[in-house]
Structure 1
Amino acid sequence: MDLKLSTEDAAFRDEVRSFIDANYPPEMRVANAETDLTKEQSLLWHRILHRKGWVAPLWPKEHGGPGWTLTQRFIWEQETSRAGTLPPLAFSVTMVGPVIYTFGNDEQKKKFLPRILSGDDWWCQGYSEPGSGSDLASVRTKAVRDGDHYVVNGHKTWTTLAQHADWIFCLVRTDPAAKPQAGISFLLIDMKSPGVTVRPIITIDGSHEVNDVFLEDVRVPVDNLIGEENKGWTYAKFLLGNERTSMAGIGRSTRYLKRLKEIVKAEVNEKDPAFGEFEREMARVELDILALEATELRVVARMARGIDPGPAASLFKIRGTEIFQKITDLTHRAMGNYGLALREHPAGGNAFMPGPEYGRTAAEKYLNSRKLSIYGGSNEIQRNIIAKAVLGL
């Protein structure tokens, strides 16, 4: 969806395009950048954006944001998505950063925010546990007060990119006698602390993206508690609202839809009845993307006025993930036998495989995208949230 831009905004768009063309690192232009890049490679663009002052578009200017208008933020999202740039680490910039500057004290803001912006600290998210995924209020990791420290014991799982992390923000149970949501606190834990162990989980597509994190008698300073003890559920919901809103993934879906159209043209004969079916399916997906983008514009405008996204965040999560899963499914089907290719991970790396370049990662993207409707609160849970908040059920 193209906006009618003012002269000033059009100049900003041109500046963004020129900046990306001139500065985006070529080594980051790989098919599966989220899992194939090293930690330092992943941070190259982050650090370039930090030097420019553009690394945290949604942050208030007083905390290090660029002070952009709503339209400029939207232009930035459009242009970076179209260019296929890897965004700065969401756990740092989109999730824990806003929690710290909204609910943290002055010392916490001073300590953590500059290092998030610079990329000196890499954060991961300690929410899910075995048996406590979508039912997040049932977390069992315990934090017991011992003087000026908490002693933390528990097990977090599906922890994305924890193998690179310097810090983890965790939901911990500080009052086991309270109702589930009432006894949770939001704690920041140094991953170098004695008692923290990270164990890799190799996913169905063969990549090392997620991990188990074990916490055994980990001593965490009380100064690392965000806000009030036992009020962590409030901060967790705030964070999840930001996370789910960002899951719309409109730019990513638009980019992958464009690639899908190219693949269908190359791989499916126009005389084949399947060609017409693909065209109809792609048209439906394109309309879904446009509708979701229009909805996002309305909600972002409300957020810019300080209005909580509420159940709209759940809507973005549902539709955004379903749309992308549909695109990867159609892509996988369109490539036929080429879609069977799967790299040997991690030992084989980018081993040669026959067929077109786009066939070498299609199966991995299809398999990996199955998780989208589960993480961040499963889509079934999101429908329950909408039913309760909108319909009063």
Structure 2
Amino acid sequence: MQRRAVSAVLAAAALLLTAGCSSGDEDSPGKGGDRAPSGTTASPTRQAAETPPAKGTVKVVRTVAEGLNTPWGLAPLPDGDLFVSSRDDATITRVDGETGKKTELGEVPGVSPAGEGGLMGLALSPDYASDHMIYAYFTSASDNRIVRMVYDEQRAAGDQLGAPDTIFKGIPKGYIHNGGRIAFGPDKLLYAGTGESGDTGLSQDKESLGGKILRLTPEGEPAPGNPFPDSPVYSYGHRNVQGLAWDSKQRLFAAEFGQDTWDELNAIKPGDNYGWPEAEGKSDDSEFHSPLAQWGTDDASPSGIAYAEGSVWMAGLKGQRLWRIPLNGTEASADPQAFLEGEYGRLRTVVAAGGDKLWLVTSNTDGRGDPKDGDDRILELQVT
């Protein structure tokens, strides 16, 4: 099996101090949260049938599971159960989708949790029914990397993960901005959102893996048809991508943390430059692809996103709310709506569960929240 190894770029401690992880990130007070969210209007050339209503609703149906420590990634299984990663414990747990019973699969070796790093995104192989393969993105002692492991349900609890096979490595790591979201797209290729590890110059460097969306084969090679020859880079100019989702037309959307002023939801076009660090939020410079929606940084700090019922749903950490962004093609058809504001604290991950259902994961035990009894938890939502 071929593996692609790319040189790691490590953020120096002095750079961390000067990078100023600010209001759009997970660990510092807000500076620019007094501005209203900005959405675009619908394009008149789009068919009305594609455009969801400007207003919608969401309700919490039930709490699926409680007592999770630093949950981060969530991967639904075909039978309705859920895999959830613990960022700091480096474990993967199976949650019964009906009863909430938790069974630890095991600990992923080689994880080095610190700051915003650790065991993060999870994804199931497109051929999971036959290969039982779990993919994971994590911070090691030297870099961020992607591994895959065979899940063996017949083994004893705590010993159900096979040895990790590293398929991709060399993604820059830092105390901050490690990205971490992975997902298989409709094309059955693996997408990964990375951060610039506090070194802003990496985002505009197409030779670096930091501040990018990557597109890989399941074996970790640059995917055929990528915009840059022999490169895993799919888009660049990102600050810290932690949300990836596709709409019903197989169009990719991504959420990323801003710094002082604007958090972003972007429609991703292969090879495009999304501006960081030269642009934060919407830009008049035609060189940069502007976001389809943006938020004052107190209101969002966006991590996971999902697509359901014609809208993108975006989980906010510092904003402690779930945003609905109704879409008209690759534009927002109305201003974003906020739900669950302050009700469940920091919101880390949201995943489509089919039809009008979502799974939502809280993030109050990660050292930056205010844990309540039962935290952290997985919630089942219904949207209309």
Could you say whether these structures have the same fold, taking a TM-score greater than 0.5 normalized by the shorter chain as the test?
no
Q: Select the structure of larger CA radius of gyration.
A: 1
Task: Name the structure with the higher helix share.
Answer: 1
Give me the TM-score of the superposition, normalised by structure 2: 0.25
Task: Name the structure with the higher strand share.
Answer: 2
